[in-house]
Amino acid sequence: MAVCNSDCIATQYASRWFKHLPPHDEYFRLQCAAIPPPDPVTVTDQQIPENERLIFAMDVPDCDQAQHLAGELGDAVVFYKLGLELMMSGGYFELLDWMLERDKKVFADLKFYDIPATVGAAVRQLEHRGASFVTVHGDQSIMQAAADNKGDTLKVLVVTVLTSLDTSDLGDLGYACDVGELVLARAKLAYETGCDGVISSGLEAPKLRQHVDPGLLVVTPGIRPAGNEPTADQKRVVTVSQALQNGADYIVVGRPIRDADSPRAAAEAIQATIAAEF
């Protein structure tokens, strides 16, 4: 089976192509040049019910396991992120309906990335399904297409830079910019195009709070509640309190709850930490 590593032709081609993209590079250099260092910020003042600030990333292989885990979590979790693993397992929208019937909220983390017309159409299809959030990648025109098609209830969140990437990984992708600068540039575009928020690590949240309109939602994955758990593939991690104090409106937590001896106790402990911050 062919494996795409750094030697494969597609990767070499992609990195050469990115290196020869001056407008793109230049755009981010210009965006990044004028950014002063951040001041410390306090917890967000968005009007969000406290128990909805924890979004549990339901990363399990099938819908039966998802329902079982949701039953175990009970009132400890109100907001669920249903991502690509469940989408590929079948029954995604039945699970979404099952969640809504139980007064849960759903974040459809499907990370749309395609030409603007296709992303806009996908967002339009999702809009009537009852999800609260959806994620998109992409440039200004893709963000614009998503914002133009989201309707009144679905909020569009723009992925800034995945929390599993650091500055050296960005170099591999052809971005000659540090992570914080790129996150800020993308967040500004998200706001200007009418998207509702961004996905950002807690490390970059202070910069967003200082330089982007406070109406932009900041949703932060890469949370390690005790600060000393295994980070796995995450590289830019913070604790629950750090994320909120840095300006996150919502935190996304997956494995620290899913893999805990008692997922319910882990979720309740996080809810208690959130409550103590407000």
Looking at the Cβ atoms of 28 and 80, the one nearer to ligand C5P is 80
| Residues 105-144, mask of contacts with ligand C5P (x by CB under 6 A) | ----x-----------------------------------
Q: Please say whether the dihedral angle defined by the alpha carbons of residues 172, 177, 180 and 181, taken in this order, is positive or negative.
A: negative
* Residue 234 Cβ vs ligand C5P, minimum distance, rounded to whole Å: 5
Pick the binder of ligand C5P from 144, 163, 245, 271 (CB under 6 A).
163
Token representation of residue 254: 């997956």
Pick the binder of ligand C5P from 110, 126, 162, 274 (CB under 6 A).
162
Which of 21-29, 209-217, 238-246, 253-261 is the region at the interface with ligand C5P (rule: CB under 6 A)?
253-261
Q: Please say whether the dihedral angle defined by the alpha carbons of residues 47, 274, 166 and 7, taken in this order, is positive or negative.
A: negative
- The kind and range of the H/E element at 251 are strand 250-253
Looking at the Cβ atoms of 132 and 234, the one nearer to ligand C5P is 234
Is residue 73 near ligand C5P by the rule CB under 6 A? no
The SS3 of residue 1 is: coil
Pick the binder of ligand C5P from 202, 206, 221, 225 (CB under 6 A).
221
* Residue 26 Cβ vs ligand C5P, minimum distance, rounded to whole Å: 25
Pick the binder of ligand C5P from 59, 127, 148, 229 (CB under 6 A).
59
Is residue 239 near ligand C5P by the rule CB under 6 A? no
* Residue 235 Cβ vs ligand C5P, minimum distance, rounded to whole Å: 10
Looking at the Cβ atoms of 1 and 195, the one nearer to ligand C5P is 195
By the 8 A CB rule, do 271 and 51 touch?
Answer: yes
Residues tagged active-site: 111
Is residue 234 near ligand C5P by the rule CB under 6 A? yes
DSSP codes joined into one string, 154-208: PEEEEE-S-TT--HHHHHHHT--S-HHHHHHHHHHHHHHTT--EEE--TTTHHHH
DSSP codes joined into one string, 91-119: -HHHHHHHHHHTT-EEEEEEEE-S-HHHH
* Residue 20 Cβ vs ligand C5P, minimum distance, rounded to whole Å: 27
CB-based contacts of 241, cutoff 8 Å, min separation 6 = 273, 276, 277
By the 8 A CB rule, do 100 and 78 touch?
Answer: no
Q: Report CA-CA distances (Å) from 4 to 1, 7, 58, 212.
A: 10, 8, 28, 37
Is residue 159 near ligand C5P by the rule CB under 6 A? yes
By the 8 A CB rule, do 174 and 18 touch?
Answer: yes
Token representation of residue 271: 């809810």
Pick the binder of ligand C5P from 124, 155, 211, 255 (CB under 6 A).
255
* Residue 165 Cβ vs ligand C5P, minimum distance, rounded to whole Å: 8
Angle between helices 263-277 and 63-73 (to 10 degrees): 60
* Residue 259 Cβ vs ligand C5P, minimum distance, rounded to whole Å: 8
Q: Which residues bind ligand C5P (CB under 6 A)?
A: 57, 59, 83, 109, 159, 162-163, 199, 221-223, 234, 252-256
